Amino acid sequence: MLELLFAAALIATPAVQDEEPPCEAYGNDDSLSIGAAIAPGRPGGELSLHANEALHGMVAVPLKCFSRWTSSDPAVTIDTERRRIVIAPEATPGRDVEITGTIRDRTVRTRFRIAPADGPVLTGFWSQTSVDCHGPVPRDPLRELRFNSDGKFAVTFVPFEVRQDYWGAVEFDPAAGRIGFSVDRGNTVPADLMLKGTVRVEGDNQLLIDGVYFGGLDVPPPVEGCSYAFRKR
């Protein structure tokens, strides 16, 4: 009987929920940041919006704690209740948009570029599914190939927190099927990189790049480069 009463008490007792800190607890140091999802922001579409603070953005900040939001483009608005950036159908592809948010006297900002209304777009995170180097293959798969909306890229073989292996700018010509990367800097930049090749985007989730080499081999890469297949995460 005691066991039954104890079980009933457990069922009847509501779970204790941690109380959300008051808004005054946020935005008190320089770690506060906002960001748009790294995904294609097409006219008529939406992007998720987030706010974070603390080391590596480990603490999520409620958007309701921001007293003011602005957009540099009238065709782009902020829906704080749904945590979304809303892009109107009449928005101009290729235009850079700056979003700002203010908590008390602290204003932070983020930027993104409006994507084409249709056609292939690289923006997002891609993971290698296969590679063919006409012989030995890299010891580790390229787990994260990141394309930002503003034409920047980053390569990371083993993602850990915010570390990236190397990064720079990318030129993508979908009509000609060409792609080229230029490295700006990096923590680990492999030798013998080959960063100009052909490219094909199949649907929204498959990316094929041929004639390039992103690193990872213990021997020099073949003169014709490697063929990579990626899937969007």
How many C-beta neighbours within 10 Å does residue 115 have? Answer: 22
Write the CATH number of the domain with boundaries 23-113.
2.60.40
Amino acid letter for position 17: Q
How many C-beta neighbours within 10 Å does residue 49 have? Answer: 22
**108, 100 Cβ separation under 8 angstroms:** yes
Specify the pTM: 0.87
Q: pLDDT tens across 164-182, in order?
A: 999 999 999 999 999 999 9
Q: pLDDT tens across 22-56, in order?
A: 999 999 989 999 999 999 999 999 999 999 998 87
- The second-level CATH assignment, the architecture, of 124-232 is Beta Barrel (2.40)
Given a cut of 50, whether residue 13 has pLDDT beyond it is: no
Per-domain boundaries in the chain: 23-113, 124-232
- 16 falls in which pLDDT band (50, 70, 90)? very low
Q: Do domains 23-113 and 124-232 have the same CATH topology?
A: no
Per-residue model confidence (pLDDT) at position 18: 60
- As a whole number of angstroms, the distance between CA 154 and CA 147 comes to 7
Q: What is the dihedral of CA 34, 49, 156, 224, to 10 degrees?
A: -130
